[in-house]
Amino acid sequence: MEGVQSTRIGVIMAGGVGERFWPVSRPDRPKQLLPLGPSSRTLLEDTVYRVGGLVDRERLTVITSRELRDPIVASGIPLAHEQIIAEPMRRDTMGAVAWITAHVLGRMGVSPEEAVLAIVPADQYVGDVETFRVDLRTALAAAEQLDALVTVGITPTRPETGYGYIEVADERVEAPGVPGAIRLRPVERFREKPNAETAEEFFASGRYLWNGGMFFWRVSTFMRELRHVDPEIAELIERMAGALSEGDEAQAEQLFSELPKLSVDYALMEHARRVLVVRARFPWDDVGAWDAWRRVVECDGSGNAAYGRPLLIDCEECSVYNEPGQDEMFVAVVGMERVIVAVTHDGLLVAPLDRAQQVREVVRQLADHRNGGGGEG
């Protein structure tokens, strides 16, 4: 594909619900709209800034759910309203990619051969913006020059069971024009979240990378591979693009509703013929729950992560988040170890760090508990 002109389009996927950060996260204010990183900016703002260094600012698109479009506009990211696109309904990450692809094909006036997408999640932590951009430029150049689906794999720092993995093939990829090509390899296969034993094997072998959910491809390459793997979805995208180009939004939405709920990994990447991965080295975290939050912020000398100026006395490795704002609370946590304390003006969670993953279920039980009654006492 060398010699083809490229227009790089940044796509930030911001439709996540992030229930596991309750009570700070809410349906109208999920993880990506919270300042869960080391800065006071939201994860989405940080992502816009990171990706803004890779593509023209006007070529940056945020794709999200209908419910979140207004909160995202209100959150003050430096993009025009039309750069924030809402999916008609939830159809997982493959739905988001299908919808944005239909928009590129049907509305943006860029040919599928010319359009190169860089698709990244809005709700991740990246510890080193410069390295992130260097590694993503390798992925973009590989997508442009090698006619492949490209992803970025994170070099693991621990035998994590909470992430998917990418098994890397041994052979090198010949790509003399791609900067950083020395870290480019074919993907052997994608692996689901492993159990602890398998995670240890993965970590020890050095052949596995964390799947960061980032995708890079020419639209023409993507459509060709998708036609091979799942021709029905490919056809729906083309028909959505046609409807959008004719201004028939209702028809496009009708077609969108026919999409299955699938992840990009499951729907495409695991079955595609030519997938490459860049072995990235920037510090990364998916900030999946309260236990992850403490990994991405600066902790005090006793390993406590704190936000909103709580008073911690004799605490160790605690995560204490006191929502700042008008209704800010006075918070004192005393003599606790490895405990999450998260409080807002109308909600409170206290739980051990090792139960952070169960917060979603807690929220559901809490809704039942409050609706279902039970005596005051």
Which H/E stretch holds residue 125? strand 125-126
Give the CA distances from residue 21 to residues 29, 31, 131, 287, 355, in Å, rounded to whole numbers and listed in that order. 10, 7, 28, 10, 12
Kindly state whether residue 334 participates in binding a copy of itself, applying the rule CB under 8 A. yes
Q: Answer yes or no: are the C-beta atoms of 354 and 291 closer than 8 Å.
A: yes
20, 149, 306, 321: which one contacts a copy of itself (CB under 8 A)? 306
CB of residue 176 to a copy of itself, shortest distance in Å:
46
Burial zone of 109 (CB within 10 Å; 0-12 exposed, 13-18 middle, 19+ buried)? exposed
Beta bridge partners of 24: none
170 contacts a copy of itself (rule: CB under 8 A): no
- Mention every residue, 6+ apart, whose C-beta is less than 8 A from residue 234: 223, 226, 227
Return d(Cα 204, Cα 181) in angstroms, integer: 24
Indicate the Cα dihedral angle 209, 139, 219, 99, nearest 10°: 60
Residue 81 contacts a copy of itself per CB under 8 A: no
Count of positions on this chain that bind a copy of itself (CB under 8 A)? 44
Is residue 174 within the footprint of a copy of itself (CB under 8 A)?
A: no
Shortest distance in whole angstroms from residue 260 CB to a copy of itself:
34
What is the nearest approach in angstroms of a copy of itself to the Cβ of residue 48? 21
- 281 vs 355, which CB is nearer to a copy of itself? 355
Query: Binding to a copy of itself by residue 365, rule CB under 8 A?
Result: yes
How far is residue 165's CA from residue 210's CA, in Å, rounded to a whole number?
5
Which of 88/310 has CB closer to a copy of itself? 310
- Write the CB contacts of 65 (distance below 8 Å, at least 6 apart in sequence): 15, 86, 87, 89, 90
Quick note: the x/- pattern for a copy of itself over 271-290, rule CB under 8 A, is: --------------------
Q: Give me 282's structure tokens.
A: 């920037």
Nearest to 146 by CA among 201, 62, 217, 44: 217
Reported residue count of the chain is 377
Binding flag, residue 324, a copy of itself (CB under 8 A): yes
**Is 329 near a copy of itself (CB under 8 A)?**
yes
108 binds a copy of itself (CB under 8 A): no
Work out whether 27 is an interface residue with a copy of itself (CB under 8 A).
Answer: no
- Is residue 24 involved in binding a copy of itself (CB under 8 A)? no
| Amino acid in the structure at residue 86 | A
Among 3, 40, 81, 301, contact with a copy of itself (rule: CB under 8 A): 40
Q: Is 326 in the site for a copy of itself (CB under 8 A)?
A: no
- Of 61-69, 91-99, 224-232, 363-371: span binding a copy of itself (CB under 8 A): 363-371
330 binds a copy of itself (CB under 8 A): yes
The single residue among 307, 319, 321, 323 that binds a copy of itself, judged by CB under 8 A, is 307
For residue 280, give the H/E element and its range. Answer: strand 275-280
Q: Which of 92, 108, 358, 360 binds a copy of itself (CB under 8 A)?
A: 358
Q: Does 127 bind a copy of itself (CB under 8 A)?
A: no
Closest among 256, 240, 4 to 116, alpha carbons compared: 4
Query: Applying CB under 8 A, does 250 fall inside the site for a copy of itself?
Result: no
Three-state DSSP state, 253: helix
CA distances, 153 to each of 164, 250, 290 (Å): 10, 38, 23
144 vs 311: CA distance, rounded Å: 52
Smallest gap, in angstroms, from Cβ of residue 45 to a copy of itself? Answer: 16
The encoded tokens of residue 179 equal 């900067």
| Of the candidate residues 114, 347, 357, 360, the single one contacting a copy of itself (CB under 8 A) | 347
- Report if residue 341 touches a copy of itself, rule: CB under 8 A: yes
Applying CB under 8 A, which residues contact a copy of itself?
Answer: 22-23, 40, 297-298, 306-309, 311, 313, 322, 324, 327, 329-336, 339, 341, 343, 345-352, 355, 358, 362-363, 365-366, 369-370, 374, 376-377
